Chains A and B, each alone.
Chain A
Amino acid sequence: MSANFYFGVEVFLNGLMAGVMYSLVALGFVLIFKASGIFNYAQGVMALFAALTLVGFQNGQIPFAHLINAIFGTDLHHFGWHMPAFLAILCALGVMILFAFLVERYILKHLVNQEPIILFMATIGLAYFMEGFGDLMWGSDIKKLDVGIPQGGNIWLEENTAFLGGEDFYGFYLDNLDIWATVLAAILVTSLVLFSQYTKTGRALRAVADDHQAALSVGISLRSIWVIVWSIAGFVALVAGIMWGSKSGVQFSLSLIALKALPVLMLGGFTSIPGAIIGGLIIGVGEKMFEFLIGAPFLGGATENWFAYMLALLFLVFRPQGLFGEKIIERV
């Protein structure tokens, strides 16, 4: 086998890892969409915001320091302590839950029964708001995020696969972080499925997802369900934010990467958790392989920018219901 082939395999594996990251964000979309019919464009920004908050707590940053300094002429920056990662994660989670509560209280409550597209545009507004708010709160410089997840290439894998190829093949290169992300994503998905299958709240969630009116009529509080769902989505965003943030730093582009979750969902269907996972893997592998085989050699590279969207677009034209959706029978 040529080294090129093994290099292709490595690209494939890296694609899978990237796909897991997409799936993580997509999962947050699916949760909210199932429970409230809202296509939450802000999910990516939520990941950014969660990561920013986490870093802020870890480093003991003072929220709105820049703003306070600008108004009062003070020179505040840090509280001067460093929070342990675990505690900081808990605090960030607390902020995301508070955020979920506020979203329900000030936005969702007022938009009940609006058309999906209006809700979608509202979440675009929410995304913009959070982006500006996050920057005001924590500053817009690129931040390093480190919660103790090992990073760098996995040497064990590299050394033990080097024998496969010839002289110029040094073994598969996979980042430890990606491997961790995969493991975490698997745990997250399993626990979410268990939660929705075996707990009372989970059952209520599924009931709401099925039919809002019917769920209301059996005494399920829609509003508290929404808070719960947005909290869970906030938690998923936090996990995704930690992963992405550890990988490439906490910065604005994080929310753009999260945009890729949208084509993932179009492939997998908006209501299917397995769909989100598999869609993410297809997009991750697809765009890496396309770039490797066609994009870089023939098209000048950077095809990852659009490949996912084009794939989803073409796919939807031929199968509008997505991979796992049921065929839609239109009624009048």
Chain B
Amino acid sequence: MNAIDSYLTPDGRTIGAPVMEMKNITLRFGGVVAIKDISFDIREGEIRAIIGPNGAGKSSMLNVMNGFYHPQEGEVHFRGEKRGPMRPHQIAHQGIARTFQNIALFKGMSTLDNIMTGRLTHMKTGMLSQIKWWGAAQREETANRELVEKIIDFLEIQTIRKTPVGRLPYGLQKRVELGRALAAEPKLLLLDEPMAGMNVEEKEDMSRFILDVNDEFGTTIALIEHDMGVVMDIADRVVVMDYGKKIGDGTPEEVRTNQDVIDAYLGVAHD
């Protein structure tokens, strides 16, 4: 890691080499261009935000990052290696976890089981020892349970451990979903509008959790968010998208003063 590859944040954390690099990504659905020739990187330990008006292609970008969509052009590099044709579940095994804009929890399962599903990429016992249960399978289950219990403590959701997630209020579901992503101990965590639909208090809680995750576990985070205030507060660097194109990239301060960004948000007519 050479010196040019890292930078220091205002609050004194060292940001390292790129974890993920998006190079000239273009994504089309039939004739519709959702993402047009976008490049940026996400560095070790940073909180990277992607912002932009509705329909700018942010969620599509996240879907490209975790392999749900395959871009027609461009390359995705993860931890120094170019990504070949892969299925989303293989990418999850590489260490990318995410949450969803519209909560995608497993409704028939309890909070605990939902977060335990996050550990699936780490659980390796075969079917025969599962059938036997006593021995390897039980040991693995218990070991992973301990880690999940730490996450449950961290997110302060001990009391809803055994509640079916379908019964939980919206804010708590979002938290459980974050827990499931954290349980995977990801190298890169993608958050799709983690604060959408929350009130100020819930947003503050969620912001705190995101900062703590980054701080305590050193997790690299990329997030999409609408609330500019929140983004400016927690993000280290920001990518701004509009109509599938990148119109700004830099620290919150730089982005805030970027004329293109101001135009996009205040709605200057496009030619």
Question: Are the chains A and B members of one assembly?
Answer: yes
Chain B CB within 8 A of A299 CB: no
Residues of A within 8 A of B106 (CB): none
Chain A CB within 8 A of B134 CB: no
- Taking a contact as CB atoms under 8 Å apart, the answer to whether B29 and A332 are in contact is no
Residues of B91-115 whose CB lies within 8 A of A = 100-102, 104
Nearest to A327 among chain B residues (CB) is B30
Residues of A within 8 A of B29 (CB): 329
Residues of A312-332 whose CB lies within 8 A of B = 329-330, 332
Q: How far is A332 from B68 in the complex, measured between Cα atoms in Å?
A: 9
Q: How far is A330 from B104 in the complex, measured between Cα atoms in Å?
A: 14
Residues of B within 8 A of A332 (CB): 63, 68, 100-102, 104
> Distance (Å) between the CB of A159 and the closest chain B CB?
55
- Number of A-B residue pairs, CB cutoff 8 Å, is 8
Residues of A within 8 A of B101 (CB): 332
Interface residues on A, range: under 10
Q: How far is A329 from B34 in the complex, measured between Cα atoms in Å?
A: 13
- Per-residue CB contact flags for chain B residues 38-73 toward chain A (1 = under 8 Å, else 0) read 000000000000000000000000010000100000
Nearest to B192 among chain A residues (CB) is A332
> Distance (Å) between the CB of A51 and the closest chain B CB?
41
Main secondary structure on A side of the interface with B: loop
Residues of A within 8 A of B100 (CB): 332
- Per-residue CB contact flags for chain B residues 62-89 toward chain A (1 = under 8 Å, else 0) read 0100001000000000000000000000
> Distance (Å) between the CB of B177 and the closest chain A CB?
12
Q: How far is A329 from B70 in the complex, measured between Cα atoms in Å?
A: 12
> Distance (Å) between the CB of B242 and the closest chain A CB?
21
Q: How far is A332 from B224 in the complex, measured between Cα atoms in Å?
A: 14
> Distance (Å) between the CB of A113 and the closest chain B CB?
13
Residues of A within 8 A of B63 (CB): 332
Q: How far is A40 from B100 in the complex, measured between Cα atoms in Å?
A: 33
Q: How far is A332 from B65 in the complex, measured between Cα atoms in Å?
A: 13
- Per-residue CB contact flags for chain B residues 103-139 toward chain A (1 = under 8 Å, else 0) read 0100000000000000000000000000000000000
Residues of A within 8 A of B102 (CB): 332
Nearest to A329 among chain B residues (CB) is B29
Residues of B within 8 A of A330 (CB): 68
Q: How far is A264 from B246 in the complex, measured between Cα atoms in Å?
A: 48
Nearest to B102 among chain A residues (CB) is A332
Nearest to B68 among chain A residues (CB) is A332
Residues of B8-53 whose CB lies within 8 A of A = 29
Residues of B within 8 A of A329 (CB): 29
Q: How far is A330 from B88 in the complex, measured between Cα atoms in Å?
A: 13
Residues of A265-300 whose CB lies within 8 A of B = none
Q: How far is A229 from B101 in the complex, measured between Cα atoms in Å?
A: 36
> Distance (Å) between the CB of A276 and the closest chain B CB?
27
Q: How far is A330 from B60 in the complex, measured between Cα atoms in Å?
A: 12
Q: How far is A332 from B101 in the complex, measured between Cα atoms in Å?
A: 8
Nearest to B104 among chain A residues (CB) is A332
Nearest to A332 among chain B residues (CB) is B100
Residues of A within 8 A of B104 (CB): 332
Nearest to B29 among chain A residues (CB) is A329
> Distance (Å) between the CB of B22 and the closest chain A CB?
19
> Distance (Å) between the CB of A213 and the closest chain B CB?
15
Q: How far is A240 from B102 in the complex, measured between Cα atoms in Å?
A: 44
> Distance (Å) between the CB of B269 and the closest chain A CB?
30
Q: How far is A233 from B161 in the complex, measured between Cα atoms in Å?
A: 47
Residues of A within 8 A of B68 (CB): 330, 332
Q: How far is A330 from B29 in the complex, measured between Cα atoms in Å?
A: 11
Q: How far is A321 from B249 in the complex, measured between Cα atoms in Å?
A: 40
Nearest to B60 among chain A residues (CB) is A331
> Distance (Å) between the CB of B222 and the closest chain A CB?
16
Q: How far is A332 from B64 in the complex, measured between Cα atoms in Å?
A: 12
Q: How far is A332 from B62 in the complex, measured between Cα atoms in Å?
A: 10
Q: How far is A332 from B69 in the complex, measured between Cα atoms in Å?
A: 10
Query: Can you add 6 more A-B contacts, CB < 8 Å, to A330-B68, A332-B104?
Result: A329-B29, A332-B63, A332-B68, A332-B100, A332-B101, A332-B102
Q: Can you list 8 pairs linking A and B with CB atoms under 8 Å apart?
A: A329-B29, A330-B68, A332-B63, A332-B68, A332-B100, A332-B101, A332-B102, A332-B104
Q: Which 8 A-B pairs have the closest CB atoms?
A: A332-B100, A329-B29, A332-B68, A332-B104, A332-B63, A332-B102, A332-B101, A330-B68
